[in-house]
Amino acid sequence: MLINRLISSAIKVKLPKMSRPFLPLFLEGVVIKGFGRGSKELGCPTANYPLSVVKSLPEQIETGVYYGFAKIGEGPVYKMVANIGWCPFYQNKEMSIETHVIHYTGPDFYGDYLKIALVGYLRAEMNFDSVEKLIETINQDIANAIKFLDYPDAQKLVNHKFFFPSQLGEH
Ligand SMILES: Cc1cc2nc3c(=O)[nH]c(=O)nc-3n(C[C@H](O)[C@H](O)[C@H](O)COP(=O)(O)O)c2cc1C
Protein backbone atom coordinates (compact mmCIF):
# COMPACT_ATOMS: atom_id res chain seq x y z
CA MET A 1 0.00 0.00 0.00
CA LEU A 2 2.70 2.45 1.06
CA ILE A 3 4.68 1.51 -2.05
CA ASN A 4 1.60 2.19 -4.23
CA ARG A 5 1.11 5.58 -2.64
CA LEU A 6 4.77 6.47 -3.07
CA ILE A 7 4.69 5.44 -6.73
CA SER A 8 1.52 7.38 -7.42
CA SER A 9 2.85 10.56 -5.79
CA ALA A 10 6.12 10.16 -7.72
CA ILE A 11 4.12 9.94 -10.96
CA LYS A 12 2.09 13.01 -9.98
CA VAL A 13 5.25 15.00 -9.44
CA LYS A 14 6.79 13.87 -12.74
CA LEU A 15 3.84 14.37 -15.05
CA PRO A 16 3.10 17.89 -16.27
CA LYS A 17 -0.32 19.10 -15.11
CA MET A 18 -2.05 19.60 -18.45
CA SER A 19 -5.68 19.77 -17.38
CA ARG A 20 -7.37 22.98 -16.23
CA PRO A 21 -10.88 23.46 -14.75
CA PHE A 22 -11.97 25.50 -17.80
CA LEU A 23 -10.89 22.78 -20.28
CA PRO A 24 -12.05 21.56 -22.73
CA LEU A 25 -12.76 25.02 -24.06
CA PHE A 26 -14.57 25.48 -27.37
CA LEU A 27 -13.91 28.59 -29.48
CA GLU A 28 -15.14 29.54 -32.92
CA GLY A 29 -15.07 32.43 -35.34
CA VAL A 30 -13.94 33.77 -38.68
CA VAL A 31 -10.19 33.76 -39.36
CA ILE A 32 -8.61 37.20 -39.83
CA LYS A 33 -5.16 38.27 -41.01
CA GLY A 34 -2.46 38.42 -38.32
CA PHE A 35 0.98 39.98 -38.78
CA GLY A 36 1.96 37.09 -41.07
CA ARG A 37 5.19 36.34 -39.17
CA GLY A 38 4.05 32.79 -38.41
CA SER A 39 4.46 31.57 -41.97
CA LYS A 40 7.21 33.98 -43.09
CA GLU A 41 9.61 33.90 -40.12
CA LEU A 42 8.68 30.80 -38.18
CA GLY A 43 7.63 28.34 -40.89
CA CYS A 44 4.54 27.78 -38.79
CA PRO A 45 1.41 29.45 -40.22
CA THR A 46 -1.09 30.52 -37.59
CA ALA A 47 -4.75 31.49 -37.88
CA ASN A 48 -5.89 34.54 -35.89
CA TYR A 49 -9.31 35.22 -34.40
CA PRO A 50 -10.87 38.68 -34.16
CA LEU A 51 -10.84 40.53 -30.84
CA SER A 52 -14.47 39.51 -30.18
CA VAL A 53 -13.36 35.88 -29.79
CA VAL A 54 -10.40 36.89 -27.59
CA LYS A 55 -12.82 38.86 -25.39
CA SER A 56 -15.05 35.79 -25.04
CA LEU A 57 -12.31 33.86 -23.22
CA PRO A 58 -13.21 32.87 -19.65
CA GLU A 59 -11.79 35.06 -16.90
CA GLN A 60 -9.68 32.22 -15.49
CA ILE A 61 -7.88 31.62 -18.80
CA GLU A 62 -4.14 31.16 -18.43
CA THR A 63 -2.00 32.63 -21.17
CA GLY A 64 0.28 30.09 -22.82
CA VAL A 65 0.37 27.24 -25.27
CA TYR A 66 -2.50 24.76 -25.58
CA TYR A 67 -3.08 21.65 -27.65
CA GLY A 68 -6.38 20.45 -29.07
CA PHE A 69 -8.38 19.93 -32.23
CA ALA A 70 -9.39 22.27 -35.05
CA LYS A 71 -11.87 22.22 -37.92
CA ILE A 72 -11.72 24.66 -40.86
CA GLY A 73 -15.17 25.18 -42.37
CA GLU A 74 -16.71 21.80 -43.13
CA GLY A 75 -13.28 20.14 -43.40
CA PRO A 76 -11.89 17.29 -41.31
CA VAL A 77 -10.85 17.61 -37.66
CA TYR A 78 -7.09 18.19 -37.31
CA LYS A 79 -4.77 18.27 -34.32
CA MET A 80 -3.67 21.79 -33.41
CA VAL A 81 -1.54 23.92 -31.09
CA ALA A 82 -2.63 27.40 -30.07
CA ASN A 83 -0.82 30.25 -28.38
CA ILE A 84 -2.97 32.53 -26.24
CA GLY A 85 -1.36 35.72 -25.02
CA TRP A 86 0.82 38.65 -26.00
CA CYS A 87 3.75 36.86 -27.73
CA PRO A 88 6.53 38.36 -25.56
CA PHE A 89 9.07 37.66 -28.32
CA TYR A 90 7.24 40.12 -30.61
CA GLN A 91 5.80 42.28 -27.79
CA ASN A 92 2.29 42.43 -29.23
CA LYS A 93 0.03 45.16 -27.88
CA GLU A 94 -3.16 43.09 -28.08
CA MET A 95 -3.84 39.68 -26.66
CA SER A 96 -4.30 37.11 -29.42
CA ILE A 97 -5.32 33.51 -30.03
CA GLU A 98 -3.12 31.98 -32.72
CA THR A 99 -3.85 28.48 -33.93
CA HIS A 100 -1.45 26.30 -35.91
CA VAL A 101 -3.39 23.50 -37.61
CA ILE A 102 -1.01 20.52 -37.56
CA HIS A 103 -0.70 18.53 -40.83
CA TYR A 104 -2.88 21.02 -42.75
CA THR A 105 -1.17 21.70 -46.09
CA GLY A 106 -3.92 23.59 -47.95
CA PRO A 107 -4.01 27.29 -48.85
CA ASP A 108 -4.51 30.22 -46.42
CA PHE A 109 -8.00 30.21 -45.02
CA TYR A 110 -8.64 33.85 -44.12
CA GLY A 111 -12.39 34.47 -43.96
CA ASP A 112 -13.18 30.82 -43.23
CA TYR A 113 -14.91 29.70 -40.06
CA LEU A 114 -12.54 27.99 -37.62
CA LYS A 115 -13.64 25.88 -34.68
CA ILE A 116 -11.10 24.86 -32.04
CA ALA A 117 -11.35 22.73 -28.92
CA LEU A 118 -8.61 23.41 -26.38
CA VAL A 119 -7.90 20.11 -24.66
CA GLY A 120 -4.75 20.58 -22.57
CA TYR A 121 -2.22 23.16 -21.45
CA LEU A 122 1.42 22.73 -22.49
CA ARG A 123 3.36 25.68 -21.07
CA ALA A 124 3.49 29.41 -20.35
CA GLU A 125 4.52 31.87 -23.07
CA MET A 126 8.24 32.63 -22.99
CA ASN A 127 10.65 35.15 -24.39
CA PHE A 128 13.63 33.92 -26.42
CA ASP A 129 17.00 35.37 -27.34
CA SER A 130 16.73 34.16 -30.94
CA VAL A 131 14.03 33.30 -33.47
CA GLU A 132 15.68 29.86 -33.86
CA LYS A 133 14.94 29.08 -30.19
CA LEU A 134 11.29 30.12 -30.63
CA ILE A 135 11.04 27.84 -33.70
CA GLU A 136 12.67 24.93 -31.84
CA THR A 137 10.26 25.35 -28.90
CA ILE A 138 7.21 25.54 -31.19
CA ASN A 139 8.36 22.33 -32.93
CA GLN A 140 8.62 20.63 -29.55
CA ASP A 141 5.09 21.88 -28.69
CA ILE A 142 3.81 20.35 -31.94
CA ALA A 143 5.51 17.00 -31.19
CA ASN A 144 4.02 16.99 -27.67
CA ALA A 145 0.56 17.88 -28.99
CA ILE A 146 0.64 15.07 -31.57
CA LYS A 147 1.47 12.59 -28.79
CA PHE A 148 -0.96 13.85 -26.12
CA LEU A 149 -3.88 14.09 -28.56
CA ASP A 150 -3.66 10.35 -29.21
CA TYR A 151 -4.56 9.63 -25.56
CA PRO A 152 -8.11 8.20 -25.25
CA ASP A 153 -9.37 11.14 -23.13
CA ALA A 154 -8.39 13.57 -25.89
CA GLN A 155 -9.61 11.33 -28.73
CA LYS A 156 -13.14 11.44 -27.27
CA LEU A 157 -13.36 15.06 -28.46
CA VAL A 158 -12.67 14.32 -32.15
CA ASN A 159 -16.32 13.36 -32.71
CA HIS A 160 -17.75 15.95 -30.31
CA LYS A 161 -21.08 17.59 -31.28
CA PHE A 162 -19.25 20.94 -31.29
CA PHE A 163 -17.55 19.79 -34.51
CA PHE A 164 -20.55 17.84 -35.85
CA PRO A 165 -23.72 19.67 -34.72
CA SER A 166 -25.88 18.13 -37.46
CA GLN A 167 -25.39 14.73 -35.84
CA LEU A 168 -27.23 16.00 -32.73
CA GLY A 169 -29.96 13.61 -31.76
CA GLU A 170 -28.38 10.64 -33.49
CA HIS A 171 -27.18 7.64 -31.40
C1 LIG B 1 2.67 26.55 -30.61
C2 LIG B 1 3.04 27.99 -30.51
C3 LIG B 1 3.81 28.42 -29.45
C4 LIG B 1 4.19 29.75 -29.33
N5 LIG B 1 4.94 30.15 -28.27
C6 LIG B 1 5.33 31.44 -28.16
C7 LIG B 1 6.12 31.88 -27.06
O8 LIG B 1 6.47 31.12 -26.15
N9 LIG B 1 6.48 33.19 -27.01
C10 LIG B 1 6.11 34.08 -27.99
O11 LIG B 1 6.47 35.23 -27.90
N12 LIG B 1 5.34 33.70 -29.02
C13 LIG B 1 4.95 32.41 -29.14
N14 LIG B 1 4.17 31.99 -30.19
C15 LIG B 1 3.55 33.01 -31.03
C16 LIG B 1 4.34 33.31 -32.24
O17 LIG B 1 5.26 34.26 -31.85
C18 LIG B 1 3.31 33.85 -33.21
O19 LIG B 1 2.58 32.78 -33.72
C20 LIG B 1 3.97 34.66 -34.25
O21 LIG B 1 4.18 35.93 -33.67
C22 LIG B 1 3.21 34.78 -35.54
O23 LIG B 1 2.14 35.65 -35.41
P24 LIG B 1 1.52 36.35 -36.72
O25 LIG B 1 1.31 35.26 -37.74
O26 LIG B 1 0.25 36.99 -36.25
O27 LIG B 1 2.53 37.34 -37.20
C28 LIG B 1 3.78 30.68 -30.33
C29 LIG B 1 2.99 30.24 -31.40
C30 LIG B 1 2.63 28.92 -31.51
C31 LIG B 1 1.80 28.48 -32.67
Distance 170 CA to ligand 1 centre (A): 39
Going from the C-alpha of 147 to that of each of 100, 120, 151, the distances in angstroms are: 16, 12, 7
For residue 38, what are the contacts with CB-CB under 8 A and spacing of at least 6?
A: 44, 45, 46, 98, 100
Domain parsing of the chain, residue ranges = 18-162
Best CATH choice for the domain 18-162 from the list 3.40.30.10, 2.40.30.30, 2.60.34.30, 1.10.3720.10:
2.40.30.30
Q: How far is the CA of 104 from the centre of ligand 1 (A)?
A: 18
Q: Which residues lie below 8 Å from residue 110, measured CB to CB, with a gap of 6+? A: 31, 32, 33
Of ligand 1's listed atoms, the one at least distance from the Cα of 99 is 31
11 Cα: distance to centroid of ligand 1 (angstroms): 31
Can you give the pTM of this predicted structure?
0.90
Ligand 1 atom index nearest CA of 45: 25
Return the best residue to mutate from 109, 134, 149 for the ligand 1 pocket (most ligand atoms within 8 A of CB).
134
Looking at residue 166, its pLDDT comes to 82
Q: Are 119 and 20 in contact, with CB atoms under 8 Å apart?
A: no
The answer to whether residue 59 is catalytic is no
Q: List per-residue pLDDT tens for the chain, 171 residues long.
A: 556 565 555 555 544 579 999 999 999 999 999 988 888 899 999 999 999 999 999 999 999 999 999 999 999 999 999 999 999 999 999 999 999 999 999 999 999 999 999 999 999 999 999 999 999 999 999 999 999 999 999 999 999 999 999 875 544
Residue 3 is predicted with a pLDDT of 60
